Structure 1
């Protein structure tokens, strides 16, 4: 079957699959009041996930990132990894986690088929980490990062959301860490969502400012890899780690879009912003529905917009990033 492609020529081989919107952290930029359930949660089950992954694999998806909320809060998280890994068309399985279960489970997840892991760590100052996340788990998460490196993951990344007035003085600490540690550090520019306009105005820091500092300090822009998407990656010969910048307000950010999102309740989202999502769940119950599901995916790609319109102050319907996996 033909690969998913939109009318702007962008091809989509990367699926971010949310398996829960529950999270046990209270990050100020995402869930400042903590997770608040909306009725009884009925997240995708293993059979639905298997059927979803099967359909996406037939239309060119080769990489799946399991997201949340906090995906590892699912008791069957290891089983979810196995379900995805059982599809031999999926070449890369990744997850994004706050790391609270990583120390104890890194090896088991690797053995199940997980190969790449992103750990959210917005500060290397334990006090600031607590202020941002609402959890006093800095040491636990750091031990989790060490466990991931020891388990042999192909790539360990650290995600840090840039926050003016909070972690914007942490850059020297991060640079010192990756001088001798082979991890990819990714600074993510704060995005405005429906619940965070005042927070955005108070704490937004342009990623371009960090990029200027890196170039002045001798960091070189790497040639993009096929699955880098919109990230701009920088390296230096005297550092084992790399730095990546994700800058959604950069003029050409959407030009390299290669990912789609499915929420924990089975809605397809063509973008983090601008639209309500399209329900797929009615076509996830049986394998014999796959042709119809694939047809729906192709039909929705024809409606994908060229950009997210964040530059115009339009944040769409997304209230917080935990709702559809960031």
Structure 2
């Protein structure tokens, strides 16, 4: 089924002019843009994509570096303060260091540099991390669902755990902080490793963030009964540590708890059982130029016609205005919540690798 798309001639959104904050109909101010660089990945996690038969995005549709920067620059002028690079696996993009360097040069209206973060599987970090840090990368999230080689191979369909662990070691040695490790909690898969994963993160000066499994797999095989809930995760961790809630979450996706009264902590992203939609401040740009206002949205806002019109000094300003208008239309179309728990919920046509993590 084709994804509904809002065309480039839809006109600017009704809320604000270029340079004004991106505020939706429910008063949420959007300050975070997740930028997917590719839908390709070096792993094949069962909760994300099938092992074979993937329909990859056409290479001609993938945004160029200049196109990514054009969107990011306008978003920053509208109050976006954080860019997070995602995929697929963002480190597979050949120009990844240059992407970081160019985005890292973008400033907010007050003159401060926009914060630059990345979510990765870590496999290419040992080779690329020095260049990424020098280019301006500020924060890292690395995915790690299990510490057991047999489980890792079954879950990712690739025998590459050692490479992921080497990437985590490189990140721990790099000085980038905070360093976060992400683990999707799955029943009868890794739910007996929750304490071990936190202990591993602590040993690497990192915070473990558990994620409830969401209906975002390309094969649409998500089963609620396989999901380990927020309350179950906390109950398991409470057998090892005293947990104290950390106040002041704001728009962050993770609730956090201090371990044994701190200073170390653990996070849980409970998008299914404890949604945080009311404070969501995120927009997403897919690798093929589609704006999305929610992971679970069934509508996309097509920037490609805007970005690929004839360029020149006389049209640069109009392109910026058109990007701004599409950002505002996307924000204005945002619903109050993702409705995962509603009977009529429809899973997005795209899998997580094509949307961007």
Distance 1:191 1:315, change over 3 A: farther
- In the alignment, the residues of structure 2 paired with residue 130 and residue 306 of structure 1 have an alpha-carbon distance, to the nearest angstrom, of 39
Report how far residue 145 of structure 1 moved.
0.9
Report how far residue 253 of structure 1 moved.
2.0
Distance 1:129 1:276, change over 3 A: same
Mapped pair 1:54 → 2:84: no
Report how far residue 240 of structure 1 moved.
6.2
Mapped pair 1:311 → 2:341: yes
| Gap runs ≥5 in structure 1 | none
Residue number in structure 2 paired with 1:113: 136
Deviations 1:60-119 (A, max 9, x none): 101000111111111001111011011122431011111110112111111111111111
Mapped pair 1:18 → 2:41: no
- In the alignment, the residues of structure 1 paired with residue 57 and residue 137 of structure 2 have an alpha-carbon distance, to the nearest angstrom, of 30
- In the alignment, the residues of structure 2 paired with residue 284 and residue 262 of structure 1 have an alpha-carbon distance, to the nearest angstrom, of 13
Secondary structure at the aligned position of 1:311 is classed as: coil
- In the alignment, the residues of structure 2 paired with residue 5 and residue 215 of structure 1 have an alpha-carbon distance, to the nearest angstrom, of 38
2:216 to 189, 193, 208: 193
Residue number in structure 2 paired with 1:290: 320
Mapped pair 1:222 → 2:246: yes
Residue number in structure 1 paired with 2:354: 323
Mapped pair 1:148 → 2:171: yes
Residue number in structure 2 paired with 1:169: 192
- In the alignment, the residues of structure 2 paired with residue 159 and residue 31 of structure 1 have an alpha-carbon distance, to the nearest angstrom, of 17
Residue number in structure 1 paired with 2:9: none
Distance 1:38 1:298, change over 3 A: closer
> Does the Cα contact within 8 Å between 2:47 and 2:217 map onto a contact in 1?
no
TM-score under structure 1 normalisation? Answer: 0.93
1:302 to 313, 332, 351: 332
| Higher RCO (C-alpha under 8 Å, 6+ residues apart) | 2
Report how far residue 212 of structure 1 moved.
3.3
Secondary structure at the aligned position of 2:341 is classed as: helix
Report how far residue 318 of structure 1 moved.
3.4
Distance 1:194 1:98, change over 3 A: closer
| Gap runs ≥5 in structure 2 | 1-18
> Does the Cα contact within 8 Å between 2:33 and 2:82 map onto a contact in 1?
yes
Report how far residue 242 of structure 1 moved.
2.3
- In the alignment, the residues of structure 2 paired with residue 39 and residue 290 of structure 1 have an alpha-carbon distance, to the nearest angstrom, of 25
Residue number in structure 1 paired with 2:124: 101
Residue number in structure 2 paired with 1:8: 26
Task: Note the 1:124-143 alignment, pairs <5 A.
Answer: 124-143=147-166
> Does the Cα contact within 8 Å between 1:180 and 1:239 map onto a contact in 2?
no
- In the alignment, the residues of structure 1 paired with residue 39 and residue 249 of structure 2 have an alpha-carbon distance, to the nearest angstrom, of 30
Residue number in structure 1 paired with 2:88: 69
Report how far residue 219 of structure 1 moved.
1.3
C-alpha RMSD of the superposition: 2.0
Bigger radius of gyration among the two? 2
Report how far residue 8 of structure 1 moved.
0.8
- In the alignment, the residues of structure 2 paired with residue 236 and residue 201 of structure 1 have an alpha-carbon distance, to the nearest angstrom, of 28
Distance 1:238 1:138, change over 3 A: farther
- Equivalent residue pairs, number: 325
Secondary structure at the aligned position of 1:30 is classed as: coil
Mapped pair 1:263 → 2:263: no
Distance 1:167 1:194, change over 3 A: closer
